[in-house]
Structure 1
């Protein structure tokens, strides 16, 4: 019987052995011992060798003790595993990047990890736990948040992503996120809280920043719309004031009335300047400042600024002058309006702060490539100067040297800030050189593309008499101004207040066989703006030949290109000036073409008219004849002319010069004195002879001679020449002489 039991136990031992491995080997050893003892017991008992009754209990005792030993061994192994697990958990807690804590409902800390110590900027775990005895008062920035935490964890048994502000040891505030659960006893009473705490200050800041960014973008979009509307709303009444006073000044006014009207006109222009400054600054701040890229004449822009500022300088009895280095290319590509704006800001300030002496604009070539010109502009004055300390405030928004300057000289303090941003957006920089009491030099640089050297716009002026023109504007005052201008041009004019009325008027005129020749459209109109009206006109087969002119009070960059793509022939900004409208219509009804080598494709038949194109047209009407036999001198003179956007026809003797003047109406002649076949003196006398066949006997003639002796100039004048240039030619004097006589 005992052998059977032992056999069963042996099977059990073998199974345990396969499962327990090392522990199983020990069990096998015990089992074998028991087996042998049991077997011995049976043998002895069966053969009555000895009385073995006591051996079985002895074997049973061994079995019991062996099982006890095995169980003890298992407990020992389990304890070791618990210790290993505890060590692992301790390592996780101590090395966790987030804070781990245990705290009592009363607000005392029982356990924290190093990350939490670091998070709250304490020196050690002991320092943190020893310092804090009431979390609600000492750690929570708002004690009500602690009560809210306790309420939620009591109600639900846990909290998830509980966010609140906590106080660090150095009294700084951090935003934290807490995840915790409540440990309870059998009665359901809370013993302590355990959980994690994470510093989410940066994450929260990033979210707030993203929200702020989106709000700013929304604000910028709103600001952009606001600026467009405000530009229209402000410029429209200003257009009325300036336009009406211009018409008023053309009427018969007595001296006092004319003085009042002039004052209104000048004050309106000054107010418009301030409004433009504010609108421009707002556009820059909103990131909505756009630039236009068109061909323009740099010299013309600088001269326009000088003409404007010279009047103000004369009122203060100070000098105003300019110098453009001959190396600076005159024909460039960029935004003349923004360039003029910077020059007016700087020169206007210079005149304002100069009591005696003068102001001088200097334009120099900084550097150039085959396609680009980097130009340096300097505005020098002999004014009050600016201290080094005060210079630090310049170019900042709404900033002037000091309050006394604002009281004495006025101004918004925006001009220099706008100029700085514009210069930077034109690929340049801006700065100042000044000493207090010794005047100032403001400078800025800008990058422009260069135009081809010989580009010429030719215009055959059109006859406006009897032309039928439709004016469209929702503002009756603007229509009165346009009708007044058009009437003075001997045009037939009709005006309507909306796009719908305009389409009706155009279609009715077509049906009656007396169509409109042109239409002047306001941009900003309700229901149907000028752009959409233009599209509707061009899409109507019966109306598509009507010439469209856009007048915009909005004046946003890029609008001109948009209008050209629609089919407009001209784009001008308000307030529109009488002579500007006249030049525009004269050009619209005339013939306009561009001649330039390698710059236009064959299908380019017309030019989109802007005020800058009108300026170039005026200059391009200068037709120059150069009479010079020396090839080097010919090349040099043509080079100087091309730098300033001028071209010339060349002949190599006086006889050919006369033949040219018989066939073409030139504006001016540049006459070399010594030439073969017929010299300059004889040619001039022949030109002045009323019996000769030249088209203009009074054409200005400028002598160019290498003779610089006393009396040579008188000899030229006596021969009938108007002016005199000695060789080698000074480029600045050369151009100044040409401008002087062509303007006359």
Structure 2
């Protein structure tokens, strides 16, 4: 009240009552002392911008004396730029009646000060004033700048780390490509048993090293937030079958049984990320086999609650291995953590596998856990929500059978789930012997004891081989790729630079280009862009497949954006190369087997087509034998069922002539 009275008296020029002069003077002194004790500059202005009241901190901030400020406006002592900005901000406050705050820099200080200037119109006794204050935010702004610098430095470090990992991936995968590829070629040649065993050890060691590299790269991608989860349709039972088939050799070598338990209630067709699910399962099953010396490993599935069109699918991997102590169980999902140092010495590994599993499961909105009893075994379980495809589900299937792969037994997927199939050969008198031979060319030895599926012959059978332009600058990789391609029956033209591939591709006499991404001078991406630009002007389109030792997130996308049709990561596996080339075989109307049509029906999944070929080699003889027995017995219903089964199998390969016979 005293301050208001004093202001009113000052502004109106009204004399104070003699009796109140001392009280008013005391009130003024008290007000000034209070204002001077405040740690921030404060001011009071009238509607014309004249300073009526301010404290000593305001004088320090403006670097002006009281006499230079009192009754004056900002134009009298501030720079024109500061004064102009002040007028704009003041008018905004007068017009809106709201608090107006701006950030300003006071360059007259050394170092300059960063301040917040706030002002608000106040009204008292029928008069209006502007009350304002300054807050020094130099330290906050410096901290914010330091934080921004830290963020930018961290991002730069992350980019440098990613680039380093990509370069290391390239540097490691390039020689690994030569080691693995040439080892595979020699293993397929005529060598004695001792040499074969030695080379098999070399290959196993190289595979183990590559697995470690892949683990480190995967973990780095997850850490950097660059790993994305897909959502595509897939067959859940087939995924489990593929996983156990891939691990069956390791289980057989240790004399372990593999089992899969999938109740009929578990849906078959789902949407999710089958690649990452398979990666988690392979890791868990691989660990279970690694740490189990007797007994077996079981993969069990179950279905939980359903909400919003998604079902909670639970996976459990049970083993009868060494187990994990209770006090160590909370550690095993941490990066680089293992039960103890002896684990690494005895069993190997980086300690990244389970950490990757945990993070992949979390990315898929799931959870993972372990229960274990030392000396009795472990159960690693994880649950992920999978979306229903909306497609009609197949009829419920029986639970999958226990597997005990032994010598001469192969793991197969059938309508009854997973089982161990004995070696069989097709009778020479079979009317579908030509089909057997055609499939055999592409999947030879699939049913032989210890044999593996081979796609040799699929690519060649279609048109006698492709004319391949190979762009590769590394001498080891050149020799390996040429050997692999020629072994598959393809004709190869070799160039060693981007400029050379541009010149050679201009001739237009190749069916396909295998393009190394990193080459001196003009790299594979730039060469591809120029080829596509030329094709846009002249017409035509030659398939270009990238070959790169880089395996970081975004590499595939960059290749496709440059105009490449497909992508192979080094080291190039011979099976992957064969499957890839199959996609680009020209059509041929005289084939017994329509590989391209079959591949189209499988959405381009060449690996699945090869698996179907192997299953046909395994199951076809039994189907034909059942048909023969039914015909001999005059059993029409049984014959009809056998013919129906055969036609279903033959249809997978577009075998029109064999279908006509059936």
Q: Which residue of 2 aligns with 1:681?
A: 635
Structure 2 distance, partners of 1:85, 1:539, is: 83
Q: Aligned runs of 1:329-408 on 2, under 5 Å? A: 329-368=267-306, 372-408=310-346
Q: Please state if 1:88 is matched with 2:31.
A: yes
Q: Aligned runs of 1:212-231 on 2, under 5 Å? A: 212-231=150-169
Structure 1 distance, partners of 2:355, 2:195, is: 39
Q: Which residue of 2 aligns with 1:211?
A: 149
Instruction: Work out whether residues 507 and 543 of structure 1, in 8 Å CA contact, stay in contact via their aligned partners in 2.
Output: no
Larger Rg over CA atoms = 1
Q: Give the aligned CA root-mean-square deviation in angstroms.
A: 4.6
Structure 2 distance, partners of 1:351, 1:528, is: 47
Instruction: Work out whether residues 371 and 449 of structure 1, in 8 Å CA contact, stay in contact via their aligned partners in 2.
Output: yes
Give per-residue Cα distances to partners, 1:104-146, cap 9 Å, x unaligned. xxxxxxxxxxxxxxxxxxxxxxxxxxxxxxxxxxxxxxxxxxx
Structure 2 distance, partners of 1:237, 1:201, is: 53
Q: Aligned runs of 1:163-312 on 2, under 5 Å? A: 207-292=145-230, 294-312=232-250
Number of equivalences: 477
Instruction: Work out whether residues 522 and 530 of structure 1, in 8 Å CA contact, stay in contact via their aligned partners in 2.
Output: yes
Instruction: Work out whether residues 623 and 667 of structure 1, in 8 Å CA contact, stay in contact via their aligned partners in 2.
Output: no
Instruction: Work out whether residues 582 and 606 of structure 2, in 8 Å CA contact, stay in contact via their aligned partners in 1.
Output: no
Alpha-carbon distance, 1:381 to partner: 1.3
Alpha-carbon distance, 1:268 to partner: 0.3
Aligned equivalent of 1:536, options 530, 535, 554: 530
Instruction: Work out whether residues 511 and 543 of structure 2, in 8 Å CA contact, stay in contact via their aligned partners in 1.
Output: yes
Q: Which residue of 2 aligns with 1:521?
A: 515
Instruction: Work out whether residues 599 and 606 of structure 2, in 8 Å CA contact, stay in contact via their aligned partners in 1.
Output: no
Aligned equivalent of 2:581, options 566, 579, 585: 585
Instruction: Work out whether residues 292 and 557 of structure 1, in 8 Å CA contact, stay in contact via their aligned partners in 2.
Output: no
Alpha-carbon distance, 1:552 to partner: 3.2
Change (3 A) 1:380 1:20: closer
Change (3 A) 1:445 1:495: farther
Change (3 A) 1:198 1:400: farther
Q: Which runs of 5+ in 2 are unaligned?
A: 1-11, 43-107, 116-133, 395-441, 443-457, 589-596, 651-662
Change (3 A) 1:453 1:531: farther
Structure 1 distance, partners of 2:586, 2:622, is: 20
Structure 1 distance, partners of 2:145, 2:602, is: 50
Structure 2 distance, partners of 1:546, 1:450, is: 38
Change (3 A) 1:671 1:685: closer
Alpha-carbon distance, 1:267 to partner: 0.3
Structure 2 distance, partners of 1:293, 1:558, is: 18
Q: Which runs of 5+ in 1 are unaligned?
A: 1-17, 24-72, 101-157, 164-176, 178-195, 593-603, 625-664, 689-693, 702-744
SS state at 2:606 partner = helix
Q: Which residue of 2 aligns with 1:498?
A: 497
Give per-residue Cα distances to partners, 1:317-358, cap 9 Å, x unaligned. 332222334444444444333222212222222222223222
Structure 1 distance, partners of 2:489, 2:306, is: 48
Structure 1 distance, partners of 2:515, 2:287, is: 37
Alpha-carbon distance, 1:538 to partner: 2.7
Q: Please state if 1:421 is matched with 2:364.
A: no
SS state at 2:384 partner = strand
Alpha-carbon distance, 1:489 to partner: 1.9
Change (3 A) 1:421 1:608: farther
Instruction: Work out whether residues 584 and 609 of structure 1, in 8 Å CA contact, stay in contact via their aligned partners in 2.
Output: no
Structure 2 distance, partners of 1:247, 1:346, is: 31
Q: Which residue of 2 aligns with 1:4?
A: none
Structure 1 distance, partners of 2:293, 2:201, is: 23
Alpha-carbon distance, 1:487 to partner: 1.1
Instruction: Work out whether residues 267 and 393 of structure 2, in 8 Å CA contact, stay in contact via their aligned partners in 1.
Output: no
Change (3 A) 1:315 1:98: farther
Structure 1 distance, partners of 2:648, 2:335, is: 53
Structure 2 distance, partners of 1:90, 1:556, is: 67
Q: Which residue of 1 aligns with 2:425?
A: none
Structure 2 distance, partners of 1:300, 1:584, is: 21
Change (3 A) 1:666 1:482: same
Structure 1 distance, partners of 2:511, 2:333, is: 49
Aligned equivalent of 1:614, options 606, 614, 619: 606
Instruction: Work out whether residues 226 and 553 of structure 2, in 8 Å CA contact, stay in contact via their aligned partners in 1.
Output: no
Structure 2 distance, partners of 1:481, 1:455, is: 45
Give per-residue Cα distances to partners, 1:206-265, cap 9 Å, x unaligned. 554333222111211222222322222221111111111111112222222222211111
Q: Which residue of 2 aligns with 1:64?
A: none
Give me the TM-score of the superposition, normalised by structure 2.
0.61
Change (3 A) 1:591 1:440: farther
Higher relative CO (Cα under 8 Å, sequence separation at least 6) belongs to 2
Change (3 A) 1:308 1:212: same
Alpha-carbon distance, 1:497 to partner: 1.3
Q: Aligned runs of 1:637-656 on 2, under 5 Å? A: none
Alpha-carbon distance, 1:390 to partner: 1.2
SS state at 1:321 partner = strand
Give per-residue Cα distances to partners, 1:670-699, cap 9 Å, x unaligned. 999xx9xxx9922556999xxxxx899999
Q: Aligned runs of 1:560-639 on 2, under 5 Å? A: 560=556, 563=559, 568-590=564-586, 613-618=605-610
Structure 2 distance, partners of 1:347, 1:421, is: 17
Change (3 A) 1:491 1:605: closer
Q: Which residue of 1 aligns with 2:88?
A: none
Give per-residue Cα distances to partners, 1:551-585, cap 9 Å, x unaligned. 33323455556655655443333322223322322
Change (3 A) 1:385 1:532: same
Give me the TM-score of the superposition, normalised by structure 1.
0.55
Q: Aligned runs of 1:46-65 on 2, under 5 Å? A: none
